[in-house]
Chains A and B, each alone.
Chain A
């Protein structure tokens, strides 16, 4: 993939997820986009609307999100990343009301990009650790 295509996933992270500019998602993702990541409900899998829904859901539960890319691997139409995501828990997340704590998890993300759009994603992130961090905050505040 070319350097403009690599920028698509960085814009998705930095501008759409972190800065909340969900209106740019149609520029970045193909209509045929599929998110193959485990643990997602079906309505968050297909097309740019699913990405908007996913980022909107994150923004309803977390603030001051940050993403640090620790490794990047590019080969053909795939780009892979190993990253650290952190955020403050300021809204309801899967039934856990805001705790105000800062959480941090590691994730592995692969996206497929061709013809100028992101077409597919495979993300495995440490959701078990995220839930443990939130539950520990709930217990500490009880």
Chain B
């Protein structure tokens, strides 16, 4: 059994590695881990891939806020990240040079120190709004 504090620390490390690190550490996830990401374009199947998608578009991406709390086997997180859109396209918008700030929330179900299920959302409407603003 993992304690809530251990689970929160796991998600803190996961955030640092997945969003700001240079290598993905597959040991965060159990082998039978399930993801429910929103939005869910066909190219993205889990949160780590979502992070990779945004890191490719915003090469200087940094996580600016991260609010983490938990109960029983769940950890919930609100976070925002910022970066300059100089990399790959975002939702079909080519590199815009704009500085974007994007919010998301996640719920993780954790068993024995591994993530076994993730529910996540990225504020895609906010991305569209920032990229299409005059």
A and B assemble together: yes
Which A positions have Cβ atoms within 8 angstroms of B?
Answer: 37-39, 71, 73-76, 78, 80, 82, 106-108, 110, 122, 124-131
Closest to A71 in B: B107
In the complex, the answer to whether A122 meets B78 with C-beta atoms within 8 Å is yes
Give the interface size class of chain B.
20 to 34
9 A-B contacts, Cβ less than 8 Å apart?
A38-B80, A73-B69, A75-B71, A76-B69, A106-B121, A108-B78, A108-B119, A124-B123, A131-B125
**Contacting residues, chain B, for A131 (C-beta < 8 A):** 125
A-facing residues in B114-129 (Cβ within 8 Å): 119, 121-126, 128-129
Partner of A124, one of B69, B70, B105, B128: B105
In the complex, the answer to whether A71 meets B119 with C-beta atoms within 8 Å is yes
In the complex, the answer to whether B104 meets A124 with C-beta atoms within 8 Å is yes
**Known contacts A71-B107, A82-B107, A129-B39; A39/B126 CB under 8 A:** yes
A-facing residues in B57-99 (Cβ within 8 Å): 67, 69-71, 74-76, 78, 80
**Known contacts A122-B78, A128-B125; A38/B103 CB under 8 A:** yes
Judged by a CB distance under 8 angstroms, whether B17 is at the interface is no
Judged by a CB distance under 8 angstroms, whether B4 is at the interface is yes
Closest to B72 in A: A73
CB distance from A52 to the nearest CB of B (A): 23
Among B4, B70, B76, the one with the most A-chain Cβ atoms within 10 Å of its Cβ is B76
A78 vs B109: C-alpha distance in the bound complex, in angstroms? 18
**Contacting residues, chain A, for B34 (C-beta < 8 A):** none
A108 vs B38: C-alpha distance in the bound complex, in angstroms? 11
